[in-house]
Amino acid sequence: MKAIVCKSYGPPENLVLEDIDDPVASENEAIVKVYSASLNFPDGLQIQGKYQFQPPMPFTPGSEVGGIITYVGAGLQGFSVGDRVMATPGIGGLAEQVAVKADGLRKIPDSMDFKTAAGFAMIYTTSYYALKQRAQLKPDETLLVLGASGGVGLAAVELGKVMGARVIAAASSDEKLEFVNRLHPDALLNYSDGELKERVKDLTKGRGADVIYDPVGGDLFDQSCRCINWNGRLLVIGFASGRIPEYKANLALLKGASMVGVFLGRFRKEEPEEYENNFAELLQMYDEGKLKPIVTESFAMSDFVDAFNVFTERKVMGKVTLEISKE
């Protein structure tokens, strides 16, 4: 089968598209024929050797796909050959086939295409866990979403509205904000001028945001610490800026605020039942038309360098997918 393989750390140009052996499933795994694979920011870090979890070389990146089950291991219950699924293999998704464990498989409704399936799991489960369990977001609270045009940012904006919050969508350009505006946030904020604190204060009558969703880190994190409301929660999602910031404890004291880490993988391991409940609720929201995932760019498998560079060049808006197979 064809797969995109990382043999040396570096830019996307280091990756190669080549034939490798077909995957072999254990008795508790299924083989999924991949039709669409989603790219996420951690994929770009992983191929550079900069992610906190690095698979041994060589490896095929890609953590979420949409496809059809072609083989079911003898011990795998609840799935059959021919099932349409979204799958989170963790690694190996940028290939024509991938082996996936039972807990990484979800059947998808007929109304969901493979592009949507490939881009659903990571962004929505991350953002829902962040807002529901970690921030305990309440109706009418003000939610500030940084990096709002990216995958997890869009999901946070969408879920914040569903949960009844007043949502401020913030991004680094007017073009990105115009894109985010299709989700009807309550306010838009361009932070490219470095005036995040002042703009948030203006939009909240001086109080600051109750919950700040930060997948960017760096300077924006520093400014966020100064525009958070009393009893506010600053959610640490990631560090797309490239700089891991430091939290000044005196600001937590003065604001009565909390810095709250969001690590989906650990949540899934430590609280599997809650994770499954979240996933079921998200799929119900999708079925009810409350969530409408946005895939903005799809690339042919052979154009993987261009797809990765959407992230490296900070141009991402919505979800980016690679089309691996044709239906």
Q: Is residue 159 located within the same domain as residue 116?
A: no
Provide the CATH number for the domain around residue 128: 3.40.50.720
Query: Are both 91 and 147 inside the same structural domain?
Result: no
> Is 133 part of a structural domain of the chain?
yes
Contact 34, 95 (CB under 8 A): yes
Distance in angstroms (rounded) separating the CA atoms of residues 288 and 291? 8
CATH of the domain at 99: 3.90.180.10
Q: What is the pTM of this model?
A: 0.91
For 228, the domain range is 122-265
The chain-wide mean pLDDT, for the chain, equals 93
- Among 265, 283, 302, the domain boundary falls at 265
Q: Do 102 and 131 belong together in one domain?
A: no
pLDDT in tens, 67-106: 999 999 999 999 999 999 999 998 999 999 999 999 999 9
CA dist., res. 41 & res. 64, Å (int): 12
Question: E strands along 120-176, which residues?
Answer: 142-145, 166-171
pLDDT in tens, 302-327: 999 999 998 777 777 888 999 998 87
Q: What is the pLDDT of residues 114-143, one digit of tens each?
A: 999 999 999 999 999 999 999 999 999 999
> What was the pLDDT predicted at 319?
86
**Together in a domain, 192 and 78:** no
